[in-house]
Amino acid sequence: MMDMLDESGVSYQLVLTKADKLRADEVTPIAERVLAELATHPAAHPEIYVTSALKRYGIEALRATLGSFALFTATPAAMAAPVRAE
């Protein structure tokens, strides 16, 4: 999937979920391996998020980033257009 996104020039960001399934000492080595692999993919955002919905770990940071992506990709016309309930 990452190769296809790289070839298409579509940027993406990885999120490692279910971190609560790992022991605390397992998270960093896994994240480091993922970051090393990510460095070989030109369209990948150079950061990863490690999250656990169960323990609420990393969720707020991920939400903030997703919100900033939405603002960054919105066009001025789309941001100025009123939204009407139907």
pTM summary value: 0.71
Instruction: Tell which wins on pLDDT, 40 or 86.
Output: 40
Q: pLDDT tens digits, residue range 18-76?
A: 999 999 999 999 999 999 999 999 999 999 999 999 999 999 999 998 888 777 665 55
User: Whole-angstrom Cα distance, residue 10 to residue 15?
Assistant: 16
Residue with tokens 């100025």: 80
User: Whole-angstrom Cα distance, residue 62 to residue 75?
Assistant: 22
Contact 13, 48 (CB under 8 A): yes
Structure token digits, residue 38: 């990510």
Q: pLDDT tens digits, residue range 3-18?
A: 999 999 999 999 999 9
> What pLDDT, on the 0 to 100 scale, is given for residue 76?
58
- What are the φ/ψ torsions at residue 48 (nearest 5 degrees)? -125, 160
